[in-house]
Amino acid sequence: MNTQLKLAILADAAKYDASCASSGTERRDSLGGRGLGSTEGMGICHSYAPDGRCISLLKILLTNFCQYDCLYCVNRVTSNVPRARFSVDEVVQLTLDFYRRNCIEGLFLSSGIIQSPDYTMEQVVEVARVLREEHDFRGYIHLKTIPDAAPELLARAGRYADRLSINIELPTEAGLATLAPEKDAPAIKRSMARLRVHIDDAKEAAQASEAVVSMPRTKPKRAKAERFAPAGQSTQMIVGADAADDRAILATSAQLYGSYRLRRVYYSAFSPIPDAASSLPLKAPPLVREHRLYQADWLMRFYGFGHEEIVASGDGLLRLDVDPKLAWALAHRERFPVDLNRAPRELLLRVPGLGAKAVERVLAARRVRRLRSDDLKRLRVPLGKALPFLLLPDHRPRAIDDAQLAAKLQPAPVQGALFA
Amino acid sequence: MSQIHIALEGEIDWDGFRAAARRLLAQGVAPDEASWSTGTEADLFDSSAAGAPPAGDDGAHATVPAAFIDLCERVRLHREPSRFALMYRLLWRLQHEPALRHDPLDADVLRAQAMAKAVGRDLHKMRAFVRFRPVHDGQPEPLHVAWFEPEHHIVEANAPFFMRRFTHMRWAILTPRRSVRCDGTSLTFGPGAARSDAPPADAGEALWLTYYRHIFNPARLKLDQMRKEMPRRYWRNLPEAELISELTAHALPRTGRMVDAPATVPRRRIALLAMEDTVSRSTASKPLPSDPAKALAALRGATDRCRECPIGEHATQSVFGEGPVKARLMVVGEQPGDKEDLQGHPFVGPAGHLFDKAIEDLSWDRSQIYVTNAVKHFKYELRGQRRIHKTPTQREAAACLHWLESEIEQVQPQALIALGSTATRSLIGHAVPVLKARGTWLTGQHTLPVLVTVHPSALLRGDPALRDEAYRQWLEDLSQAARYMAGAARG
């Protein structure tokens, strides 16, 4: 089988993983080295696919042979998809070639589980090792770690990778037990805990070595702390494959952020796969629901919302017609309007349409003068959305009931139907 | 009012702008009295008619916020001809309107910021969408050449990025107005080029197109999202963009076929890995191995899957007791904390450190003591991204009790130390006021002597002024168990 065909099969096999980010790592470049590559903190999306998702990394599987039988997965052992396996060197050459063409920021490597979790993990780590040690590749590397792989292998992976991730796959232990019988929720969490301990230790060591005071008139020298996944760890959860509602999903995310300091939880709307198992919902992926979950996740991470207050409805689902912040505001109208010129940051962050950056600028500007609605316009705040909740010297919102307001704010879109 | 005209030497003549702006400022030339042009536009004006800026005071005393300089560094790269006038107007206003530097919503400031942002975006998109193609020009390593059409004057500003990234690659980027070439050690800038000067597609690019074709999930078509991030004007220079219409056209039928296809018959099934179900009290009463060490290992595995109360599902793992199988002394804490939950070992967090210090101060040997907790999983409350310890309820402690009892049964200690009220209640069988009973021996449910004292985390939470005294008192409580430790030391 030639590289072209393998690449087709193994990219196909990897396209269901939502994570793509190449950001958040240390700054590096290839000056003074033997190879190529750089990372400058902010990731670069080198292309976009017609599904709207960015292509930042060469995202492939080392192999799509897999001995597990996770029902939601196109690569499960009982699936009839064509199989392929890359050699370590093929992945290395592809990565370097695409990188030289400036098509990618680096590599995101995952794998089906073959022989044993340890064997698989060893192969994945070997690709990263060859890239880093033999080619002095300084671009971004994201490795998917195999839960249950030996702690030493995780430790080695962290030395080469910028980011590590382990997919939690499903929001509840029960869901995982049903759909992925060989995957072990406690083992996944244990691996995440191990990674967090490594990442924390490396950070602490780095801080400690920075604090070293050097002798006068000698160049400050510090022992370089052992690096470990400087861009942290992330995970992915599949949405819509089981019955877990949004409240359960957000509770799990909050728990993962709090327990393991994940940089990101990715939500992946369960999408139809070729050769699907009969027990799964074969329909268009719930993309709007996925989008609302990302918005809700954002509220938890940057807007001070607790996971338990975001989903208001009795059915445990986020509203599809309005974004979660607006939904919250509509459900808590007694808290509004707030005075743009006086309200504390926490409250401003809860005003629909006011983003975190806009809030910072409002806070800075109002130290100098009183803000009016023109200022909001200049900040490019969507006025129709924000004004009903704000009190300004030149604007006093009229009391308005939920239904009227929601109707005024936007027409209610529904979950897009692919075959309508 | 005479106009003073400044002709800068090129589109991005930063030094020229700074020097001229300083002079104008020093001479009190108001923004609307000055006009600006760059090298390419200079001949549109009758330059002899333009008043040459008078020499003199260099305006060195003018001060601006550092952020303003950074802003201008970006703005000057914008293609908008009025950018230098805007920059000078802002500079002037900063000298004459003290409030301006504190007003992030001023119209001129926002306009400059918008221009800087546009430039920043262009810089970023150039980093993203430049596509190199190798050219074999007789050298051992190929030359990588790219064609790109930036919106603004960003080639010089962006070149160092490509040099940092592709240090050991020979490369060149051609654009309509400028070109840049790098030989690994230095950058050389030259005039603009034509698209035809760049090399055509090569065989290696076919691999990239294969990747692009296959990483696309047809069930998630979102063209607007794609166009937002990758506007059409970039498409003509991105090889993969040729595939977009074809992939889009086939997306719906492909998805339809997947949805309509009958579920397939599994090819083969491997035997499921042996997985234990969650453990309930009934399965826990299965006979344990007769060797205590093996029995403890079995119990450890079983507690990990215990879901008899709701806290297990939220924890990482159970934290089981650790210590020698036949320890004479067993210390029972309340429940694992954040660190214990992550590491899977008891007493490794701050309270554990304090416990270790006490052991050392008492000249005991931790390796002789069996250390465990009344509750095996970490119970917490999320506060933002922090997990705050929450005391287990009576019901939760009661649900966990049989694990502790099994542990005692296997280790068969001669005495127990209960740290805090949860541990005390589990061992004694009912609530005991710890502050009153501390330092005394009570009789536990198994007729074993139980020494009661406070939990070390209570010392950590207590009044810092009284900490030394509280610690001393705690040591005194613990020292009551010295007899059992001394026995352990004798073997």
Q: Is the pLDDT of residue A259 over 90?
A: yes
Residue of B nearest to A101 (CA): B132
CATH annotation of A3-207+226-310: 3.20.20.70
**CA–CA min distance B236, chain A (Å):** 13
C-beta atoms of A30 and B164 within 8 A: yes
Q: Is the CB of residue B35 less than 8 Å from the CB of residue B85?
A: yes
C-beta atoms of A69 and B268 within 8 A: no
Tokens of B136: 């074999």
Q: Is the pLDDT of residue A270 over 70?
A: yes
In what helix (H) or strand (E) does residue B471 lie, and over which residues does it extend? helix B467-479
C-beta atoms of B165 and A30 within 8 A: yes
pLDDT in tens, A53-109: 999 999 999 999 999 999 999 999 988 899 999 999 999 999 999 999 999 999 999
Residue of A nearest to B337 (CA): A259
Which of the 8 DSSP states describes residue B255?
Answer: H
Q: Is the CB of residue A232 less than 8 Å from the CB of residue A197?
A: no
Residue of A nearest to B338 (CA): A259
Task: Let me know if B304 is exposed, middle or buried by CB neighbors in 10 A (0-12, 13-18, 19+).
Answer: buried
What is the predicted pLDDT for the residue at B278?
46
| In the block, residue with structure tokens 């690994």 | B184
pLDDT in tens, A324-383: 999 999 999 999 999 999 999 999 999 999 999 999 999 998 998 899 999 899 888 999
Tokens of A392: 């300004």
Chain-centroid distance, C-alpha A115? 29
* pLDDT, greater one: A279 or B436: B436
Which of the 8 DSSP states describes residue B147?
Answer: E
Chain B residue numbers touching A197 (CB-CB < 8 A): 342-343
Which of the 8 DSSP states describes residue B327?
Answer: -
- What residues of chain A, 12 to 31, have a C-beta less than 8 Å from chain B? 12, 14-16, 29-31
Strand partners, A164: A143, A233
What is the predicted pLDDT for the residue at B376?
97
CA distance B197 to B194: 5
* pLDDT, greater one: B484 or B262: B484
Provide CATH 3.40.470.10 ranges for chain B.
275-490
What is the predicted pLDDT for the residue at A320?
93
pLDDT in tens, A196-224: 999 999 999 888 876 555 555 655 555 66
Mean pLDDT across B53-60: 52
| In the block, residue with structure tokens 């073997």 | B491
Tokens of B248: 């889009």
CA distance A305 to A332: 13
Answer whether A3 touches B (CB < 8 Å).
yes
Residue of A nearest to B109 (CA): A378
**CA–CA min distance B411, chain A (Å):** 26
β-strands A106-110, A140-144: how paired?
A: parallel
C-beta atoms of A49 and B275 within 8 A: no
**CA–CA min distance B335, chain A (Å):** 16
CA-based nearest residue to A322, from A314, A307, A312 = A312
In what helix (H) or strand (E) does residue B145 lie, and over which residues does it extend? strand B143-147
Answer whether A378 touches B (CB < 8 Å).
yes
3-state secondary structure of B68: helix
Q: Is the CB of residue A79 less than 8 Å from the CB of residue A68?
A: no
Answer whether A2 touches B (CB < 8 Å).
no
Confidence of residue B489 (pLDDT cuts 50, 70, 90): low
C-beta atoms of A272 and B258 within 8 A: yes
CB proximity list for B173: less than 8 A, separation 6 or greater: B130, B145, B146, B147, B148, B155, B159, B162, B179, B180
**CA–CA min distance B217, chain A (Å):** 6
3-state secondary structure of B194: coil
Residue B321's alpha-carbon distances to A48, B423, B487, in angstroms, are 52, 13, 21
Tokens of B58: 């260099």
pLDDT cut 70: percent of chain A above it: 91
pLDDT in tens, A394-403: 998 876 666 6
C-beta atoms of B214 and A50 within 8 A: no
C-beta atoms of A52 and B223 within 8 A: yes
* pLDDT, greater one: A227 or A105: A105
C-beta atoms of B220 and A273 within 8 A: no
What is the predicted pLDDT for the residue at A27?
94
* pLDDT, greater one: B330 or A285: B330
CA-based nearest residue to A47, from B128, B421, B408 = B128
What is the predicted pLDDT for the residue at B58?
52
Chain B residue numbers touching A282 (CB-CB < 8 A): 258-259, 263
What is the predicted pLDDT for the residue at A254?
96
**CA–CA min distance A401, chain B (Å):** 32
C-beta atoms of B144 and A52 within 8 A: no
Q: Which of A30, A77, A103 is the best residue to mutate to test the B interface, defined by the most B CB atoms within 10 Å of its own CB?
A: A103
C-beta atoms of A98 and B317 within 8 A: no
**CA–CA min distance B100, chain A (Å):** 9
Answer whether A126 touches B (CB < 8 Å).
no
Q: Is the pLDDT of residue B263 over 90?
A: no
pLDDT cut 90: percent of chain B above it: 75
Confidence of residue A317 (pLDDT cuts 50, 70, 90): very high
**CA–CA min distance B164, chain A (Å):** 5
What is the predicted pLDDT for the residue at A212?
57
| Beta-carbon contacts below 8 Å between A and B | 250
Instruction: Give domain limits for chain A.
Output: 3-207+226-310, 324-409
CA distance B43 to A245: 68
Residue A197's alpha-carbon distances to A200, A404, B337, B457, in angstroms, are 5, 51, 14, 21
Confidence of residue B445 (pLDDT cuts 50, 70, 90): confident
CA distance B235 to B233: 6
CA distance A231 to A159: 12
Q: Is the CB of residue A15 less than 8 Å from the CB of residue A115?
A: no
What is the predicted pLDDT for the residue at B41?
47
CA-based radius of gyration for chain A: 24
C-beta atoms of A276 and B258 within 8 A: yes
CA distance A141 to A120: 17
CA distance B305 to A227: 33
Residue of A nearest to B142 (CA): A100
Answer whether A281 touches B (CB < 8 Å).
no
CA-based nearest residue to A249, from A234, A266, A233 = A266
Tokens of B179: 């070109």
Q: Which of B103, B164, B378 is the best residue to mutate to test the A interface, defined by the most A CB atoms within 10 Å of its own CB?
A: B164
Mean pLDDT across B5-25: 92
| ipTM of this complex prediction, to 2 decimal places | 0.92
Residue of B nearest to A290 (CA): B220
Answer whether A77 touches B (CB < 8 Å).
yes
Cis peptide bond upstream of A337, omega within 30: yes
3-state secondary structure of B394: helix
**CA–CA min distance B327, chain A (Å):** 28
* Span of A170-174, B55-59, B192-196 with lowest mean pLDDT: B55-59
Residue of A nearest to B207 (CA): A4
Residue B50 phi, psi (nearest 5): -70, 130
β-strands B170-174, B178-182: how paired?
A: antiparallel
Chain B residue numbers touching A58 (CB-CB < 8 A): 211
Which residue in the set A34, A58, A369 is minimally distant from B168, CB to CB?
Answer: A34
CA distance B285 to B331: 24
What is the predicted pLDDT for the residue at A418?
47
pLDDT in tens, B118-156: 999 999 999 999 999 999 999 999 999 999 999 999 999
CA distance A396 to A389: 9
Kindly report the CA angle at B25 between B69 and B15, in degrees rounded to 5? 45
Chain A residue numbers touching B161 (CB-CB < 8 A): 38, 40
Tokens of A375: 């200022």
CB proximity list for B223: less than 8 A, separation 6 or greater: A50, A52, B248
What is the predicted pLDDT for the residue at B274?
39
Helix ranges (DSSP H) in B132-280: 155-165, 203-215, 223-229, 244-260
Rounded to 10°, the helix B292-304/B394-411 angle is: 160
CA distance B120 to A193: 38
Q: What is the mean pLDDT of chain B?
A: 89
* pLDDT, greater one: A331 or B284: A331
Strand partners, B370: B330
CA-based nearest residue to A201, from A223, A222, A225 = A225
CA-based nearest residue to B131, from B79, B157, B166 = B166
Which of the 8 DSSP states describes residue B389?
Answer: E
C-beta atoms of B218 and A51 within 8 A: yes
C-beta atoms of A368 and B99 within 8 A: yes
C-beta atoms of B105 and A79 within 8 A: no
C-beta atoms of A182 and B269 within 8 A: no
Q: Is the CB of residue A126 less than 8 Å from the CB of residue A88?
A: yes
pLDDT in tens, B206-243: 999 999 999 999 999 999 999 999 999 999 999 999 99
Which residue in the set B130, B213, B230 is minimally distant from A102, CB to CB?
Answer: B130
Answer whether A371 touches B (CB < 8 Å).
yes
Q: What is the 3-state secondary structure (H, E, C) of chain A?
A: CCHHHHHHHHHHCCCCCCCCCCCCCCEECCCCCCCCCCEECCCCCCEECCCCCEECEEEEECECCCCCCCCCCCCCCCCCCCCCECCHHHHHHHHHHHHHCCCCCEEEEECCCCCCHHHHHHHHHHHHHHHHHHCCCCCEEEEECCCCCCHHHHHHHHHHCCEEECCCECCCHHHHHHHCCCCCHHHHHHHHHHHHHHHHHHHHHHHHHHCCCCCCCCCCCCCCCCCCCCCCEEEEEEECCCCCCHHHHHHHHHHHHHHHCCCEEEEEECCCCCCCCCCCCCCCCCHHHHHHHHHHHHHHHHCCCCHHHHCCCCCCCCCCCCCHHHHHHHHCHHHCCEECCCCCHHHHCCCCCCCHHHHHHHHHHCCCCCCCHHHHHHCCCCHHHHHHHEEECCECCCCCCHHHHHHHHCCCCCCCCCCC
Give per-residue burial for B333-358: e unless 16+ CB within 10 Å, then b.
bbbbbbbbbbbbebbbbebbebbeeb
Question: Does the B275-490 domain belong in CATH 3.40.470.10?
Answer: yes
Task: Let me know if B251 is exposed, middle or buried by CB neighbors in 10 A (0-12, 13-18, 19+).
Answer: buried
| In the block, residue with structure tokens 């983003």 | A355
Q: Which of B316, B319, B385, B389 is the best residue to mutate to test the A interface, defined by the most A CB atoms within 10 Å of its own CB?
A: B316
Confidence of residue A164 (pLDDT cuts 50, 70, 90): very high
pLDDT in tens, B71-109: 999 999 999 999 999 999 999 999 999 888 888 788 899
Q: Is the pLDDT of residue A275 over 90?
A: no
* pLDDT, greater one: A303 or A218: A303
What is the predicted pLDDT for the residue at A94?
97
Chain A residue numbers touching B248 (CB-CB < 8 A): 50
